[in-house]
Amino acid sequence: MNKPISSFAPASRPWWHGAVIYQIYPRSFSDSNGDGIGDLAGITQRLDYVASLGVDAIWLSPFFASPMRDFGYDVSDYRAVDPMFGTLADFDALVARAHALGLRVIIDQVYAHTSDAHAWFQESRSGRANPKSDWYVWADPKPDGTPPNNWLSVFYGPCWTWDGRRGQYYLHNFLPAQPNLDVHNGEVQKALFDTARFWLDRGVDGFRLDAINFAMHDPKLTDNPPVLDGDAIRKRPFDYQQHLHNQSQPDLIPFIEKLAAVVQSFGPDRFTVAEVGGENSIEERQAYTGGDNRLNTSYGFDFLYADHLNPALIVDALAHWPGAPGEGWPSWAFSNHDAPRVVSRWGGANADPAWAPLLLALLTGLRGNVFLYQGEELGLPQAEIPFDRLRDPEAIANWPLTLGRDGARTPMPWSSEKAFADFSTVEPWLPIPQDHIARAVSQQDGDGHSTLAIARDLIALRRSSVALKEGSFRPLALPPPLLGFDREASEQRVRCLFNLGTAAMPCDALAQGRVIFSSGTVRDRTLGPLSACYLEIG
């Protein structure tokens, strides 16, 4: 293993430009109080480990008060910590410790919907004349009593649920327990901006904006047209429609600009990243991040929902972000709490151990920000959760057609020598697979050839290289399954080469430069199967 080069000068861009951001799923990171569920104090206790990775920031998935019908993405109080995760004092201690370690703190904000247990919704549903009666999306039934249009929910069935107290339907793009806010409403916008200010005042460095393109709807409630591709494989009713009217509305742009102004009023180092999915994700991501007065960056599901890895997948995704004037800055993730872990998704159920370092090298080589999901640095595969242990409503509804989300949400394995992998002192909320325990931090820490060591080397290399952190991306014309691209900035060039296949491949692109990173087998102008190489050129 070649150590990271130190000759590259640091970049002069904002801290987030090319950053590596480590996603923490609080329920599954570390349990400090022995109830089987991770919490904020547990995260604080493990921040030294996170800092040792060399990442720039952490992103915390929701820890807010919630009935947990969708595990925190159904917020019942935007300004309260759910007791299972701790208190506001615990959050403040986490931020203070993170900042002391040089880590920025990004938190989720869920502005498209709340929980049906939120006080706002409880007031809104109580009648049609109260001050919050129009804070959510309400609609009368059709003359025959059916929902007002054909919109379908991501989590199956209609987007509409009847409420007898108001005698109307309410909109929910996800679970019925997640009613959509009417973000067209100026009072709703003000309340959301005040929520942002509350957390910025507590020292957070920015926000990940969950499902932001679902935050506005077509007020005319126009029916969505069907998807016309008759050969497409569809696993959900949602996939049968073009979602032109229940999401991605043009009025989102002014809202985003107002929100960005609120965040930036706390200083130029505050950060915003949007999650944007859907059939028009690329265009929307570019619109939400273009210019200087919108969001800093965004990510979609280019890689998260891709079943197979090939060179075209990478090259085509990056081609939409060439670095043109006024263009936004992209972000990329291979794994997160909503997608099956990438080692299993691209490497197969019994993935070759070479997949993990290959994928880490590929991710950290891309132009844009990198989101690294907890355990990805250990090479964790997707966990197999028996039906009777599933907790995720989507996984239960769709079992066994998909790998589900629970298999990516299992607790972090800290030690192979302690009970429950040192995540907790009691049985965790989801089981920890034995093959995860075999890859625990205790097994890899201190081993210079482990996946964890490779992750640390790659992150350090990226931080020290202006070419890798913010340079241009130029793909090389190589025969598949070879993938290659040059990253270049400030007269520095790094060539990134990968063999995505299971047989050795000749690669003349290896002839130039000095090897600064390699995994697998690299020799005699040949890339071994599932191998990666970085070259410093010039």
Mark whether 48 and 68 lie in a shared domain. Answer: yes
Mark whether 275 and 342 lie in a shared domain. Answer: yes
Which pTM does this prediction carry? Answer: 0.95
Q: How many CB atoms lie within 10 A of CB 230?
A: 6
26 within a domain of the structure (yes/no): yes
Mark whether 433 and 490 lie in a shared domain. Answer: no
Radius of gyration of the CA atoms of the chain, in A: 23
Range of the structural domain that residue 510 is part of: 472-537
What's the CATH number where 501 sits? Answer: 2.60.40.1180
Mark whether 364 and 480 lie in a shared domain. Answer: no
Cα separation, 408 vs 426, whole angstroms: 20
Residues 98/303/434/422 CA torsion (nearest 10 deg): 10
Mark whether 380 and 494 lie in a shared domain. Answer: no
pLDDT, averaged per 10 consecutive residues of the chain (538 residues), comes to: 37 86 98 98 98 98 97 97 98 98 98 98 97 98 97 93 96 97 98 98 98 97 89 79 94 98 97 93 96 96 94 98 95 96 94 97 98 98 92 79 82 98 98 97 96 98 96 97 96 97 97 96 96 96
Mark whether 498 and 407 lie in a shared domain. Answer: no
In the listed set 404, 426, 461, which residue is the last one of a domain according to the structure?
Answer: 461
State the pLDDT at residue 490. Answer: 87
156 within a domain of the structure (yes/no): no
Cα separation, 416 vs 35, whole angstroms: 20
398 within a domain of the structure (yes/no): yes
146 within a domain of the structure (yes/no): no
Mark whether 442 and 492 lie in a shared domain. Answer: no
Mark whether 457 and 489 lie in a shared domain. Answer: no
CB 139 within 8 A of CB 221: yes
Mark whether 212 and 286 lie in a shared domain. Answer: yes
Cα separation, 352 vs 218, whole angstroms: 47
Token pair belonging to 235: 């696993």
CB 481 within 8 A of CB 314: no
Cα separation, 260 vs 294, whole angstroms: 6
Mark whether 235 and 371 lie in a shared domain. Answer: yes
Mark whether 266 and 246 lie in a shared domain. Answer: yes
Q: Residue 277: helix, strand or coil by DSSP?
A: coil
Cα separation, 16 vs 58, whole angstroms: 12
Cα separation, 7 vs 15, whole angstroms: 20
State the pLDDT at residue 458. Answer: 98
Active site residues: 210, 275
Instruction: Name residue 424's beta-bridge partners.
Output: none
Return the percent helix, strand and coil in the chain, to nearest 5: 30, 20, 50
What DSSP string runs through 124-153? HTT-SSSTTTTSB-EEPPPTTSS-SS--B-
- Give pLDDT tens digits for 451-466: 999 999 999 999 999 9
Judged by phi (left if over 0) then psi (alpha if -120 to 50, else beta), residue 438 lies in: alpha
49 within a domain of the structure (yes/no): yes
Q: Of 451, 425, 514, nearest to 36 (Cα)?
A: 425
Cα separation, 217 vs 139, whole angstroms: 12
Cα separation, 182 vs 217, whole angstroms: 8
426 within a domain of the structure (yes/no): yes
Cα separation, 379 vs 388, whole angstroms: 26
CB 235 within 8 A of CB 398: yes
12 within a domain of the structure (yes/no): no
In the listed set 398, 432, 461, which residue is the last one of a domain according to the structure?
Answer: 461
- The total number of structural domains that make up the chain: 2
What's the CATH number where 31 sits? Answer: 3.20.20.80
Q: How many CB atoms lie within 10 A of CB 282?
A: 17
45 within a domain of the structure (yes/no): yes
Mark whether 480 and 419 lie in a shared domain. Answer: no
Token pair belonging to 250: 């043009």
In the listed set 461, 493, 516, which residue is the last one of a domain according to the structure?
Answer: 461
- Give pLDDT tens digits for 246-268: 999 999 999 999 999 999 999 99
Q: How many CB atoms lie within 10 A of CB 267?
A: 9
